Amino acid sequence: MKKKSLSVKKIIHRKILTHLSNKRIFHSYNLFKKNVKKLKNYKKFSGAISGGPDSMALAFFLKCYEIEQRKKIYFYHIDHGLRESSKFEATKLKKKLKFFGINLKIIRWYKKKFKQGNLQSNARSNRYRLLYQQMEKDKSELILTGHTRNDLIENFFIRIFRGSGLGGFVSFNELNSKIGGKNIFRPFLDIKKSELEFISSQVFGSYIIDPTNKNTIFRRTKVRNMIEEFSDEGLNLDKISLTINNLSEANRAIKFYVDQNIKKNVTKTHKKNFLILNPLFFKNPIEISLRSLLNILSRLGEKYYPPRGKKVLKIIEEILSQNFNKTTLHGCIIEKFGNLTLIYKENEKKI
């Protein structure tokens, strides 16, 4: 690299790192670094940058970390083209981040418009699909997102409305988890959204405000408004977080028995996507059997969302009955063969 380029790079780095002299920003950065240190075994990872305050703070912290650790980090932005302003916003975001030495890769998708009722869900699924495709190209092993403690609490209440089980309630409360077979890391789960808004404003001056976040047609917006309303009435978010943490501990105990059930009662064949479940698989408490089957279907189906628990529970009831023969769920075929249950992908040939 030429001396002039090196000099410019050093100036940019100093300009970025000088923001860490702010005590409030430095405190949040230390919390971030404490979590990201757990990624030491990953050679390459990426950041999903939407342009909102959470992801802008993520972009800033990742750049600081990249400078300090001399580590290669990729920055991605998905432009769905669902809003007329999205292309302009993406271009503006790329220029803003370039000023800070952040090379943002814009990934555009214009193939399809969604029905309004499924907009957020479908957009989220496609966002991860496109992110995963780019991760494959860059050989990135993991992607970081800007999800915060606020998102965690919102997700908890959304799952209450859905009638989710324990696994659903705490599905968001893990720094490192898998979605669609890929590693997702959420380093901001112990940081409040207000702190990230402060950081983004101080560092970048502005950030993108998604108008859909105010649209009450979406359940998440309604839940967010409900939380704000009840917070004014004395709802303690710290206590909600404590409840979620306690439920997470119970969930880990159940996960242990789920893993044991799969290990002891599932036989892998010479075909990667073909599994055999013996009768003892379903001789556990229903939560263990349910979570075990969910685990298998999620892994074989390789889809962004796991199958709904109600559908899986219904299939278990059918399997335990005398009349079950064959069904399809989550891209998998579930078939009874004597006292055994066979599960394989739809495009997989039967043994």
Based on the domain organization, do 41 and 101 belong to the same domain?
Answer: yes
Tell me whether residue 167 is in a domain.
no
Please, are residues 290 and 314 in contact by the beta-carbon 8 Å criterion? no
Residue 216 has what pLDDT? 66
Tell me whether residue 24 is in a domain.
yes
Tell me whether residue 128 is in a domain.
yes
| CA contacts within 13 A on the Cβ side of 123 | 18
Tell me whether residue 340 is in a domain.
yes
Based on the domain organization, do 224 and 319 belong to the same domain?
Answer: no
Tell me whether residue 247 is in a domain.
no
Tell me whether residue 327 is in a domain.
yes
Based on the domain organization, do 201 and 132 belong to the same domain?
Answer: yes
Based on the domain organization, do 78 and 225 belong to the same domain?
Answer: yes
Helices (H) and strands (E) in the chain, counts: 12, 11
Range of the domain at 203: 12-146+187-235
Tell me whether residue 77 is in a domain.
yes
Residue 28 has what pLDDT? 95
- Per-run averaged pLDDT (10 residues), the chain, 351 residues: 59 85 95 91 90 95 91 91 81 92 88 56 78 91 91 87 79 77 87 92 87 71 82 80 89 94 92 89 94 91 77 92 89 92 81 55
Based on the domain organization, do 194 and 131 belong to the same domain?
Answer: yes
* 3-state SS, one letter per residue, for 304-349: CCCCCHHHHHHHHHHHHCCCCCEEEECCEEEEEECCEEEEEECCCC
Pairing relationship of beta strands 176-179 and 142-144 according to DSSP bridges: unpaired
Residue 49 has what pLDDT? 95
Based on the domain organization, do 115 and 197 belong to the same domain?
Answer: yes
Q: Is residue 119 classed as helix, strand or coil in its secondary structure?
A: helix
Residue 29 has what pLDDT? 95
Residue 128 has what pLDDT? 84
Based on the domain organization, do 213 and 317 belong to the same domain?
Answer: no
Based on the domain organization, do 229 and 286 belong to the same domain?
Answer: no
The CATH number given to whatever domain includes residue 298 is: 3.30.465
Residue 254 has what pLDDT? 92
Residue 350 has what pLDDT? 59
Based on the domain organization, do 39 and 106 belong to the same domain?
Answer: yes
| End position of a domain, from candidates 201, 235, 269 | 235
How many domains does one find in the chain?
Answer: 2
Residue 150 has what pLDDT? 87
